[in-house]
Amino acid sequence: MNELKQKIDITKKKFRWSDYIAERIIKSVAFLSITFIVLIFFFVFRESFPIFNFSKDAEHKTEQDSSKQAQSNPNEIQEQYGVPAPEPEKQEQYGVVTSDTLTEATIQTSTQETAQQASAQPAKQEQYGVQTADDTSMIENYATSESKATEVSTTDNNKHALKTLVTKDWQPVSDNPRFGLLPLLLGTLKITIISMLFAAPLAILAALYTSVFAPKRLKEIIKPAIELLAGIPSVVIGFFALMIMASFLQDLFGYATRLNSFVGGIAMGLAAIPIIYTITEDALNAVPKTYYEASLALGASKWQTAFFVMLPAATPGIFAAVLLGIGRVFGETMIALMATGNAAMMGLNPFESVRTLAATIGAEMAEVVFGDTHYNVLFLIGSLLFIFTFILNAIAEFWVKGRLMKKIQGK
């Protein structure tokens, strides 16, 4: 025994290669991923930056000219890209099969509504508002309005664009383009509120049921089932909302516009439920079992225990769950494109069509002219989304940590 012990030498520091390498790899991968996150934000924001830049440039004529030249090149390329017709032609037939037959009524109503809203608009713009409902007309109109837009000076547009950011009109492709973000913000807000009003109670109650009330076997079925919902691609949920839910809800409530923020909100709620459910469930399961026993031993019924002991103890986690759900709805593009009607309107009525920030990027990014004002504004929207989500997650993180610390340390 004594001889064995003497062999371990603690006086000399030993260099351990495997530890060193593992440590380095972990460290560099971590930094790489953090760098990626920062870079993504940086590039997104950089693309939106000219908006702010150009308004200053407009004061200096020389710079304005050079930038004008710089802009003209990509514009021409884009123009040629927009002109060739055969592809849109094919899509026309495709579009007829998928959406025209079912959504014809909607297209008409929403066209009319858009027309009423945007009274100062040229006729082409009205059709633009319908774009996602009817792909074909959008593409054709886009090509024409785009060629017109390029005739107008991009620099002037940029100068003008910054001023229109805080207006009520989102009309990016017209003779007089206006980039009012307010209807988009309002639309996103409406959708978020509706989806959370729908999803949060359902998800939280479902989580409460599985973690407090359900017998073990049922729990083992429900939990994975709801978590599977998270794996359904949002395009499928969107399709379901567009084809089935929209008609059903319209029959049920009898409102005029088939695709609106209500339908969209509920569809997005479906996407957010699994997230909220999973995190809430984890939070509830993390509540010490002794709380549950103590409450029952005091003569509380099960539901009293669930509401007055389990839920309060899990609040930080539930709060985080809802915030993450909101984050999901903020960024959700496909469902918004398919189910919300995509008309940028300012009303507070939940049964009006809306257009969300993310859907705007999704719908318009493919057709936008590279380097154009419109392009920059779309990236600005991207940056906004990024910042919102970042703030949400940050609040979720820090608030939860703060609350937990408070509870544990008992201050």
Partner 1 sequence: MILQKIRTENMYLYYGNKMALNNVSISIPEKQVTALIGPSGCGKSTFLRSLNRMNDLIDSVKIEGNIFVDDINIYDKNIDVVNLRKKVGMVFQKSNPFAKSIFDNVAYGPRINGNNNKSELKEIVEKSLRDAAIWDEVKDRLHDSAMGLSGGQQQRLCIARTLAVDPEIILMDEPASALDPISTSKIEELIFQLKENFTIVIVTHNMQQAARISDNTAFFYLGELIEYNKTKKIYTNPDKKQTEDYISGRFG
Interaction site with partner 1 (CB under 8 A): 215-216, 288, 290-291, 293-301, 304, 308-309, 312-313, 406-411
Which CB sits closer to partner 1, 37 or 286? 286
Which CB sits closer to partner 1, 66 or 301? 301
* Nearest residue to 268 via CA among 205, 222, 326, 347: 326
Q: How far is the CB of 358 from partner 1 (least distance, A)?
A: 38
Q: How far is the CB of 10 from partner 1 (least distance, A)?
A: 36
Which CB sits closer to partner 1, 261 or 305? 305
Give the Cα separation of 136 and 93 in Å (integer).
9
Which CB sits closer to partner 1, 72 or 304? 304
**Angstrom distances, CA of residue 254 to CA of 63, 86, 174, 224, 250:** 56, 41, 34, 35, 5
Which CB sits closer to partner 1, 61 or 216? 216
Torsion of CA 205, 211, 216, 222, to 10 degrees: 40
φ/ψ (deg, to 5) at 170: -110, 95
Q: How far is the CB of 394 from partner 1 (least distance, A)?
A: 24
Tell me whether residue 253 is exposed, middle or buried, using C-beta atoms within 10 angstroms of its C-beta: 0 to 12, 13 to 18, 19 or more: exposed
Q: Which two tokens stand for residue 99?
A: 């959406």
Give the Cα separation of 398 and 404 in Å (integer).
10
Which CB sits closer to partner 1, 49 or 303? 303
Eight-state DSSP code of residue 178: E
φ/ψ (deg, to 5) at 341: 90, -25
Give the Cα separation of 41 and 408 in Å (integer).
36
Which CB sits closer to partner 1, 27 or 302? 302
Element (H, E) at 170: strand 170-171
φ/ψ (deg, to 5) at 101: -60, -45
Give the Cα separation of 399 and 317 in Å (integer).
10
Q: How many residues does the chain have?
A: 411
Q: How far is the CB of 369 from partner 1 (least distance, A)?
A: 57
Q: How far is the CB of 206 from partner 1 (least distance, A)?
A: 22
Which CB sits closer to partner 1, 182 or 214? 214
CB neighbour list of residue 325: distance below 8 Å, 6 or more residues apart: 195, 196, 199, 200, 203, 272, 273, 275, 276
Which CB sits closer to partner 1, 222 or 346? 222
Place of tokens 């899509």: 91
Q: How far is the CB of 302 from partner 1 (least distance, A)?
A: 9
Q: How far is the CB of 315 from partner 1 (least distance, A)?
A: 10
Which CB sits closer to partner 1, 240 or 291? 291
Eight-state DSSP code of residue 179: E
Q: How far is the CB of 58 from partner 1 (least distance, A)?
A: 59
φ/ψ (deg, to 5) at 178: -130, 135
Q: CB of 257 within 8 A of CB of 106?
A: yes
Q: How far is the CB of 409 from partner 1 (least distance, A)?
A: 7
Q: How far is the CB of 16 from partner 1 (least distance, A)?
A: 40
* Nearest residue to 292 via CA among 314, 270, 271, 277: 314
